[in-house]
Structure 1
């Protein structure tokens, strides 16, 4: 990684300082991201997103560039410790990356500082523009994100034997321990929405987020499915629920969560890339939990 990053020249400027983002910096960083990256999110929403809802020992919240007394660049990071093949693996999810125009020459210092942290599997679930080819040069692998856009249509629930609940107490009462832990870790995550699909004595926990396309915030994206088989049986009721309860007219669902080309769907020709960097973790062991996707409601 280092040799590739060193191939990009940096402008040496002692007045532009690189610092980790500490808890005391969160409000100032939130105001910077509100002003410079996404003004639709208030500073308080950004601040809530920067502080993960799960308990984790984090070395920082990412890195920032300081010139004089002001922030001129930020690269957020979200840390978690996960179980992979019965061992602990530390993940660092690369989040929002924003550098003011006059300081772009310093932008790679932020990424280098994050990637220089030893012992992490790095994920990037929202690379855009020239970040994708940069990640490839840094040996990031691309996850298979083959997906469909499903049109959400209303569907009667009576007589189906299926119930869908969103109340916290009801969700918790139906989940197994693994999904209960995931739910409790993300229950307060600003971008995560939750429901439990119940059929007989079976339960499927579904986590999703609302997404904006073409300035329309009317889409849902599935982030986690606790029981793929039950989801396949009940998907049409779930999509109907997303329409009637959450106002989502369509749902992005990847093949990892549902059968390919579900009914009333359009296969995406160019799904948005998601990438990771690790010599210990395989693509199938990477998921979207404990990441920017659950924290930042852009």
Structure 2
């Protein structure tokens, strides 16, 4: 599967890149992954894959099982049969499903299959050297600082993603609280100057410490600007400019609300 994606799915990433990302996350015992997705064969030839990333999360005290529909790639002459892979994934009982980067054609198909939109609300902010008060709040992206500051589920999320080459990590700290932040570089107009926030463990602390983090991303990581999704951050950060035309994200669940869905354990954080 990794070799097929390396050969057929842009960008030009190696098979090792795919294994290091989503396959390694699926291999965790706590993921309880029944597979790595579905494959389409023509005789002995692999002609399509629908890669999936599995996770088990605690939501309102309950163990909830997720299947993220990560990457769908089928050779052109076999695309008439590609929906069979999607239906096979959705036929798995006991899972909530997410599809976080569907193209318009897939969105229309998903809607017919019971998916709903998360409707992310992206905002762009420049990473300026804001003045900060020393010792009241700190930001670090050093691995030892992130691991030391976190406990419980945020620490598990960090440990699960820390070997993914595309995931970046930071922690916002006060004397009594810590917020884990996961982000990655994103290209806009071929420029790799943008940081995109993918997860925050404490939205209130994240928004309170936003200028500290923005300063850190600019000075430490040379990110000119940051993209913040209000769905992830629990609201818009200040100052920022709202963006339009951003990718839709979708999920299918009989019991969970949009607020229960985040972007961890997905192609957003774990794939090239």
Q: What does the per-residue CA deviation read over 1:158-183, in whole Å, with 9 as the maximum and x for residues that have no partner?
A: 64633222222222221232322222
Does 2:243 correspond to 1:268? yes
Q: What are the residue-to-residue correspondences of 1:228-247 with 2, within 5 Å? A: 228-247=203-222
Does 2:28 correspond to 1:52? no
Structure 1 pair 75–261 and aligned structure 2 pair: CA distance change class (3 A):
same
RMSD, aligned CA: 1.9
Does 2:185 correspond to 1:213? no
Structure 1 pair 208–173 and aligned structure 2 pair: CA distance change class (3 A):
same
Report the equivalent of 1:37. 9
Of stretches 129-138 and 36-45 in structure 1, the one that deviates more from structure 2 is 36-45
Tell me the distance in 2 between the aligned counterparts of 1:253 and 1:102: 39
Q: What does the per-residue CA deviation read over 1:222-270, in whole Å, with 9 as the maximum and x for residues that have no partner?
A: 122122222222211211221222232221111130542621x220122
Does 2:161 correspond to 1:186? yes
Q: What does the per-residue CA deviation read over 1:19-68, in whole Å, with 9 as the maximum and x for residues that have no partner?
A: xxxxxxxxxx2222122111432221012223133432211100111223
Of stretches 179-188 and 253-262 in structure 1, the one that deviates more from structure 2 is 253-262
Match of 2:130 among 140, 143, 155: 155
Structure 1 pair 134–77 and aligned structure 2 pair: CA distance change class (3 A):
same
TM-score (norm 1): 0.83
Match of 2:102 among 114, 127, 138: 127
Of stretches 95-104 and 198-207 in structure 1, the one that deviates more from structure 2 is 198-207
Does 2:46 correspond to 1:96? no
Report the equivalent of 2:93. 118
Tell me the distance in 2 between the aligned counterparts of 1:244 and 1:205: 19
Match of 1:165 among 132, 137, 140: 140
Tell me the distance in 2 between the aligned counterparts of 1:101 and 1:67: 13
TM-score (norm 2): 0.91
Q: What does the per-residue CA deviation read over 1:91-149, in whole Å, with 9 as the maximum and x for residues that have no partner?
A: 10001101111111111111111111111100001111311111111110101311211
Tell me the distance in 1 between the aligned counterparts of 2:41 and 2:189: 33
**Structure 1: any 5+ residue segments left out of the alignment?**
1-28
Tell me the distance in 1 between the aligned counterparts of 2:137 and 2:57: 32
**Structure 2: any 5+ residue segments left out of the alignment?**
none
2:82 is paired with a residue whose SS is: helix
Of stretches 99-108 and 241-250 in structure 1, the one that deviates more from structure 2 is 241-250
Of stretches 120-129 and 51-60 in structure 1, the one that deviates more from structure 2 is 51-60
Tell me the distance in 2 between the aligned counterparts of 1:158 and 1:86: 37
Tell me the distance in 2 between the aligned counterparts of 1:114 and 1:190: 27
Tell me the distance in 2 between the aligned counterparts of 1:177 and 1:60: 27
Does 2:225 correspond to 1:250? yes
